[in-house]
Amino acid sequence: MEPAFSVKDFAGRIAAAASESGGRELLFLLRAASLLNWPASPVPEGAAAPGANEAADRVGIWRRKAGTEPPVYIRSVDRMSEWSLWANIGRIGPKAKRRRVVFLGESVARGWFYQPHYTPAGVLQELLDVTAGRGLWEVVDLARTNLSLEVRELALQAAQLQPDAVIVFSGNNWRPTAPTIDNIMGLQVALRENGVYGLKSLFEAQVSEAAKAAVRDICEFYARLTVPVIWIVPESNLLDWRDWRVNAARLEGDANREWICCAQKAEAALLGERRAEAAAHARRMIELDGGTGSYGWRLLAECENGLGDPAQERGLFEAARDARIWDLSHLSAPRPYSVSQQAIRLEAGRCGCPVVDLPKVFADYTSGQLPGRRLFHDYCHLTDEGIRVSMAAVATALLRVTSGKVPDFGTLLGEAPLPSAPVAAEASFLAAIHNAHWWQPRDIVQYHCEAAFSKSAHVAQVMAAFVDLQTSSAPMLLSSSAESLAKLSQQSTQEYILRHSTQLLDPVLIDAIADVLEKVEPGARRRISARLAASRGLGREPCSLLDFYYLSAGSQAHELAWAIPGELNDRHIAVNDFYRAYWVESNFAFVSHAGMNVELEIDLRLPGSLKEEAVHITVNGVKIASLRVGSAWKAFKLTVHSDQLLDGVNKVVVCWPIPCSDSYKMPRDGARCLTTWAPDALFQSFGEIHRLIAHSIS
């Protein structure tokens, strides 16, 4: 049998990797050749154990209780670490006289931000009770947070529960998988021959084929059991969710320089409401990067938004959502890619399974408006209105396929239950936190904070406790604020905030919360500012602005990845040991008192630069220094006088020069990022910072 690639080529790459700095690719190649062992890695959340789909005694985290007939399934103690990801059901009893529907899906199907108090499965249960009669239907909630294509195994296991119908609400976590030794060479060939566009095409095909296989297997399996399967095509927040600005991958010649200039001009034109000018620059960005970057699409979509062509607007926003399917170098929000949506439509339709197409359902419900904050809390998680609309559509499809009745959608929607005011308020507050932690604009964070307070005034106390947690210098779970939060809030809030116990500077979020708290506590903003300064303000002890707490305030996800704490970095990405800039500006923050003088110490360089160039440093928008820097590390000390500082959060911006065109060339083996998770192989690094310290001086 011919090897996937030649031994000579493989040996040559090992020799080249050994001669280069770093060594992560060499490590990969040695492991691929079985000369070194692969490190042990945890089973991904939601992944079924080997052979789980053949096991006759397990459904998800529930194991059949020995000796029970008909079978009873009990939550397994050995899967206790996963319990919080599933519905809080200790026991699934045998099927009784009621007709049983199993409800499968991921965090959207769990009712994230609301669960366990209010869930899609619970809303569906109420709709069936009201419409078909209480006691006739039983909805078994098997949705699981973080579930991906493992939904296939779970669906096959669920047959043990003897369902009369199966509902699958999945697709937001169907992503490309990390490259393996089996497919890495094909990816490298695609990159070498067609650039990043080749990678994008391959990954789209990979996701499409995997999605079709999962849908087909589930449909055909239940067809043999004569059990109907209803598929829900997920939708995303096209209008209000913004992926962060990321530079184009390395392009030929001066194309990257032109792309950046076009982005800056488009931003300025949009700010000045010159839509036609902005659209022209955005189209040029798309032409330059071949449509593989989301930012050009997003800018163009915003130019066209509201101009009277809904189909064109939707196409542009969807293109922005789908563009970076190829980019595995940094975290991206879950979403239903167009290839996943289409795979569900085509394969379920081919198998004769009913499809609840949420893009169409939501468009009909809103008279053609693009989906935004009304129906979505973030990128894909639904508001209670979104849950009610989607479950009314599902109940309609279920009753049609099981009884032949076609209930009126509007009547069903009117019967859908609402969450309690405290639950709805805290869900909106969690949405504000989540949007802020995914670097969304101030207006959307402010919107969710105000929506929370409008639903229940009690949320102001929850907000105050959260601010105390984030501004405290004590570990989160050792603070009295955590105890207060646990007493004041719903289980959903406690689970979201306290589970990872991660503190961030959160200037955008805290500022939005302060606006709300001022309504019930005049002077709240001043109190928050004083607490932040007391707990996090600079003293004579040095403060590293590259620490995750402070670096998160820069709203630059690509640059933050290397600093993410291990317990949050669930992708186990191998990253560099210092800060790298992937945009022409790098944003940092620190907290100071009024009247304080501050010294900044910075070690930096321009990677691959052939000469020294100027790097500009600004504090709160005022330039304080222009540093001459080249490819060698240089250390500087900069003084920031008290009249340049704010009492509270101060913003430091490092402005990098745009490298010459030679620096943009793709490395000899640009696909190195696929084997090492090293983004520099595909993205230009504008500058590097090894140390950035701030401390007060007299």
Are both 272 and 133 inside the same structural domain? no
Q: Per DSSP, what are the bridge partners of residue 355? A: 231
CA pair distance 259, 458, nearest whole angstrom = 48
pLDDT of residue 368 exceeding 80, the answer is yes
The reply to whether 560 and 668 lie within a common domain is: yes
Whether 314 and 339 map to the same domain: the answer is no
Predicted confidence band at 477 (pLDDT cuts at 50, 70, 90)?
confident
Within-domain flag for 401: yes
Confidence of residue 51 (pLDDT cuts 50, 70, 90): very low
Same domain, 146 and 276: no
Choose one of 282, 299, 322: the last residue of a domain: 322
For the cut 60, the answer to whether the pLDDT of residue 404 exceeds it is: yes
Given this model, what pLDDT does residue 91 score? Answer: 95
Asked whether residue 275 falls in the same domain as residue 353, the answer is no
Looking at every residue in the chain, the average pLDDT score rounds to 88
Looking at per-residue pLDDT, the higher value among 565 and 585 belongs to 585
pLDDT (0 to 100) of residue 2:
47
> Measured between alpha carbons, how far is residue 308 from residues 22, 374, 646 in Å?
53, 20, 44
Instruction: CATH number of the domain at 285, please.
Output: 1.25.40
User: What token pair was written down for 466?
Assistant: 């959260």
CA neighbor of 589 nearest in space, from 620, 616, 565: 620
What pLDDT does 1 receive? 45
pLDDT at site 40: 45
Confidence (pTM): 0.90
Average of pLDDT values for 325-331?
82
Q: Is the pLDDT higher at 18 or at 477?
A: 477
Q: What percent of the chain has pLDDT over 90?
A: 66
pLDDT exceeds 70 at position 423: yes
314 and 343 inside one domain: no
* 8 Å CB contact between 648 and 535: no
pLDDT category, 389, cuts 50, 70, 90?
very high
Count Cβ atoms below 10 Å from residue 589 Cβ, excluding itself. 20
CB atoms within 10 A of CB 156: 18
- Please tell me whether residues 135 and 18 are part of one structural domain: no
Instruction: Quote the CA–CA distance of 225 and 61 in Å, as a whole number.
Output: 23
Q: Is residue 541 part of a domain?
A: yes
- Better-scored residue on pLDDT, 474 or 124: 124
Q: What is the CATH number of the domain that holds 155?
A: 3.40.50.1110
Domain stop point among 322, 342, 361: 322
CA distance 514 to 497: 19
Domain that holds residue 341: 58-178+203-238+333-419
Confidence of residue 662 (pLDDT cuts 50, 70, 90): low
Confidence grade of residue 599 (pLDDT, cut at 50, 70, 90): very high
Is the CA virtual torsion 236, 240, 241, 245 positive or negative? positive
Distances (CA, A) of 328 to 561, 671, 683: 12, 12, 12
Q: Is residue 466 part of a domain?
A: no
For 269-326, write each residue's pLDDT tens digit: 999 999 999 999 999 999 999 999 999 999 999 999 888 888 999 999 999 999 999 9
Span 528-554, average pLDDT: 89
- Split at pLDDT 50, 70, 90, the class of 34 is low
Strand order in 648-655's β-sheet?
585-592, 648-655, 613-619, 622-629
pLDDT value of residue 666: 56
Tally of domains in the chain: 4
Q: What's the pLDDT at 58?
A: 94
Does residue 228 register a pLDDT over 90? yes
Q: Domain containing 563 — which CATH number? A: 2.60.120
Tell me what pLDDT residue 564 has. Answer: 79
Same domain, 362 and 297: no
Choose the final residue of a domain: 299, 322, 345. Answer: 322
| 291 domain residue, yes or no | yes
DSSP 57-95: SEETTEEEPTT-SS--EEE-GGGGGGGGGB-S-SEE---
Please say whether the dihedral angle defined by the alpha carbons of residues 235, 156, 43 and 683, taken in this order, is positive or negative.
Answer: negative
Residues 159 and 217 in one domain: yes
Please tell me the distance from the alpha carbon of residue 316 to that of residue 28, in angstroms, as a whole number.
38
- Judged by average pLDDT, the poorest of 287-296, 565-574, 576-585 is 565-574
* Helix (DSSP H) and strand (DSSP E) numbers for the chain: 24, 18
User: Do residue 35 and residue 112 come from a single domain?
Assistant: no
What pLDDT, on the 0 to 100 scale, is given for residue 47?
Answer: 39
Identify the pLDDT of residue 460.
Answer: 96
**Considering the domain boundaries, does residue 126 fall inside one?**
yes
pLDDT at residue 52 tops 60: no
The dihedral over CA atoms of 143, 148, 149, 153, expressed in degrees to the nearest 10, equals -40
| pLDDT of 44 | 38
- Residue from 349, 360, 365 nearest 409 by CA: 365
Residue 392 has φ and ψ, to the nearest 5°, of -65, -40
Q: Which residue has the higher pLDDT, 389 or 670?
A: 389
Q: Could you tell me if residue 367 is left (phi over 0), alpha (psi between -120 and 50 degrees) or otherwise beta?
A: left
Q: How far is CA 17 from CA 5, 250, 572, 692, in A?
A: 17, 21, 22, 31
CB 386, CB 376: distance < 8 Å: yes
User: Which residue type is seen at 683?
Assistant: F
The residue with greater pLDDT, 399 or 22, is 399
Residue 479 resides in a domain: no
> What's the one-letter identity of residue 427?
A
Same domain, 23 and 131: no
Task: Give the E-state strand segments of 67-182 in sequence order.
Answer: 73-75, 91-92, 99-105, 137-141, 165-169
Q: Is 510 within the bounds of a domain?
A: no
pLDDT for the residue numbered 28: 57
Which region among 177-186, 254-263, 306-315, 500-509 has the lowest average model confidence (pLDDT)?
177-186
In a domain, 580, yes or no: yes
At residue 341, what are phi and psi to the nearest 5 degrees? Answer: -60, -45
Kindly report which listed range (52-56, 359-363, 427-431, 615-619) carries the lowest average pLDDT score. Answer: 52-56
Burial (Cβ within 10 Å: 0-12, 13-18, ≥19) of residue 51: exposed
Same domain, 233 and 277: no
How far is the C-alpha of 343 from the C-alpha of 390, rounded, in Å? Answer: 20
- In terms of phi and psi (left: phi > 0; alpha: psi -120 to 50; beta: otherwise), the region of 195 is left
Would the pLDDT of 184 be above 80?
no
**Span 141-164, mean pLDDT?**
96
Is pLDDT larger for residue 422 or for residue 190?
422
